[in-house]
Chain A
């Protein structure tokens, strides 16, 4: 017999699977996959990572939208526990950072796909610079206002990502220098680094039971 906590996780996983199926089917119906086929591999990869960031960001925003909803979604939240407003603020700010990351990751391939060049490309770059500046400020604010557990998880994710990327980059660069593998573009490297940081930060937060 499954424990209540595990049963709840199974039910949520089943709901997530159904929602994913419906979203995937809907995306196919509106021609998203046909549209993706026209993109180079690195842009398909970055668009996929952007899609994941978008979903995570929306999920964080929905969870932070009401105290009642947060209490229902957070595991191990005991009845009667006061809900610290900073938890919701942290979640909301993290949601915004994730959504901004998705937009920043989507913008260049979309601009190229729709043939934006010259002044239009400069306008896209300027818009991205403004968003990046805002996102950096928000990230610093999250870091400053977080408590020590969040800061420890962020520091751990940063160190682990750096180590993995340094290792991978050195290995690939050495092989490329020897002519054994192809050179990769800056965009591919950026997509890989974003994907690695995303996975590592989720693992770091899960290890410390930050979703509990």
Chain B
């Protein structure tokens, strides 16, 4: 999934290793998320959201639009 993690991390002045250390995951995990090679688990996505102080959908970009529900 496309995401703004690299941008947010750079704005926060964190290296991949720094962020990995804060989250308790490997640097490879951060690298894989940033390069769209891995979609993180929900708990990890929520921790990212807390670290950068933004909602999850400000980090992960999803262009899916829900279909209109029929009105009864």
Give A contacts to B, CB under 8 Å: 76-78, 80-84, 86-87, 90, 147-150, 152, 207-210, 212
Interface size class of B (residues with CB under 8 A): 20 to 34
A210 contacts across to B, CB distance below 8 A? 28, 32
Closest A residue, CB atoms, query B15: A81
Partner of A84, one of B17, B35, B41, B44: B17
Partner of B44, one of A86, A87, A148, A150: A148
CA distance A212 to B32 in the complex (A): 9
Closest B residue, CB atoms, query A151: B41
A-B pairs with beta carbons under 8 Å apart, 17 shown: A76-B31, A78-B15, A78-B16, A81-B16, A81-B27, A84-B17, A84-B21, A86-B26, A87-B27, A147-B25, A147-B29, A148-B25, A148-B41, A148-B44, A149-B38, A209-B35, A210-B28
CA distance A212 to B16 in the complex (A): 12
A152-B38, A208-B37 known; A84 vs B27 contact (CB < 8 Å): yes
A148-B44, A207-B37 known; A84 vs B20 contact (CB < 8 Å): yes
A149 contacts across to B, CB distance below 8 A? 25-26, 28-29, 32, 38
Q: Could you tell me the distance in whole angstroms from the C-beta of B60 to the nearest C-beta in chain A?
A: 16
A83 contacts across to B, CB distance below 8 A? 17
A84-B17, A84-B20, A209-B35 known; A148 vs B40 contact (CB < 8 Å): yes
Does B18 have its Cβ within 8 Å of any Cβ on chain A?
yes
A81 contacts across to B, CB distance below 8 A? 15-18, 27
A152-B38, A209-B31 known; A80 vs B26 contact (CB < 8 Å): no
Residue from B24, B27, B37, B41 having most chain A Cβ neighbours under 10 A: B27
Closest B residue, CB atoms, query A83: B17
B23-64 contacts to A (CB < 8 Å): 24-29, 31-32, 35, 37-38, 40-41, 44
| B31 x A148 contact (CB < 8 A) | no
Q: Could you tell me the distance in whole angstroms from the C-beta of A74 to the nearest C-beta in chain B?
A: 9
A82 contacts across to B, CB distance below 8 A? 15, 17-18, 21
A77 contacts across to B, CB distance below 8 A? 27
| A208 x B27 contact (CB < 8 A) | no
A80-B15, A82-B21, A148-B44 known; A209 vs B32 contact (CB < 8 Å): yes
CA distance A149 to B31 in the complex (A): 10
B44 contacts across to A, CB distance below 8 A? 148
B20 contacts across to A, CB distance below 8 A? 84
B38 contacts across to A, CB distance below 8 A? 149, 152, 208
B27 contacts across to A, CB distance below 8 A? 77, 81, 84, 87
A208 contacts across to B, CB distance below 8 A? 28, 32, 37-38
